[in-house]
Amino acid sequence: MLKFISVVFCFIVSFDVLADEPITPLVPIEGLSPDKVKLGQQLFNDNRLSKDNSISCASCHLLSKHGADNRTRSIGINGSQGIIKTPTVYNSAFNFVQFWDGRSRTLNQQVSGPIHNPIEMGSHWLEVIDKLSADPAVAVQFKTLYDNGLTAANVADAITTFERSLITLNSRFDRWLEGDEKALSANEKQGYQLFKAFGCISCHQGRNVGGNMYAYMGTMGDYFSDRGQPITVADYGRFNVTGVEDDKFLFKVPSLRLVALQRYFFHDASERRLVSAIEVMAKYQLGRNINEQDAELIAAFLRSLVGQHPLLEPQ
């Protein structure tokens, strides 16, 4: 009996400790209509959303990889190049705003951005609706799922519903948070402790390990001067939305949930190695010079954040 009480007590203590962690497990979003998710996925992959029928949402958001593309800048219609690195669409439902500069407050608002952007899809809703209306099968789907049928608002709603289903669950780190001590290696646990001790957790916390606040790029150093490249419009971040001088170089903090799968890092895609990106962030955001060994341990922790989704290639 005493042994049983001891085991229960230890479990409760362990659970309480994990419950106090600044990162919480990802959970699926409940109540999504399966039929709308299916329609949204279809539209997410539909090239007709672009002016010349050449690209879809999926062209820049590779769902089999990490929810973004493997370029420094995405390519839109007519070979146009974007001005900022494409962020992942996975887990974006948990971001407090959308886009690096936060110009859309919801996923639903975000949908219109690429469609209307002249160097992305270069189209507009009237054109998109005309194309989709010419497809009887699509028109029937909308008539079945929405009282007012095929409209711009309903196209955006379907795509948003699909995007809200793109949650990467059951990461090894989440399993550890839920009490599975064997889910993480000793190095990964040490990396997490360093992640907290160095202060990375101050901006990257919550269930999305980021995505819930703004931060200046170069809080503790002149990142843009040291970068050695001219400042671009995209570098101004939130300023491009508000016009407020103090908002220059202010960006939405990205989620780190799939950062270990990325090909490039930061809004400007200036780093190609995860360990190097960690070192840069430590220097310019925290004012710390960390050694490569500690950066490698933090990278090991970040790899444990990668979860699972049916559309994401197994890691």
Distance (Å, rounded) from C-alpha 132 to C-alpha 71?
Answer: 29
Give the pLDDT score at 18.
58
Asked if residues 284 and 220 have their Cβ atoms less than 8 Å apart, the reply is yes
Q: Which residues are catalytic?
A: 120
Q: What is the pLDDT of residue 315?
A: 80
Return d(Cα 257, Cα 210) in angstroms, integer.
Answer: 8
List the chain pLDDT tens, one digit each, 315 residues. Answer: 433 334 333 434 344 445 589 999 999 999 999 999 999 999 999 999 999 999 999 999 999 999 999 999 999 999 999 999 999 999 999 999 999 999 999 999 999 999 999 999 999 999 999 999 999 999 999 999 999 999 999 999 999 999 999 999 999 999 999 999 999 999 999 999 999 999 999 999 999 999 999 999 999 999 999 999 999 999 999 999 999 999 999 999 999 999 999 999 999 999 999 999 999 999 999 999 999 999 999 999 999 999 999 999 998
Which residues does residue 145 pair with via DSSP β-bridges, in sequence order?
none
3-state secondary structure (DSSP) of residue 169: strand
Q: What is the distance, to the nearest Å, from the Cα of residue 90 to the centroid of all Cα atoms in its chain?
A: 5
pLDDT for res 19: 57
Amino acid at residue number 42: Q
What is residue 296's DSSP assignment?
A: H
CA distances from 108 to 17, 111, 134, 144, 264 (A): 37, 6, 24, 21, 27
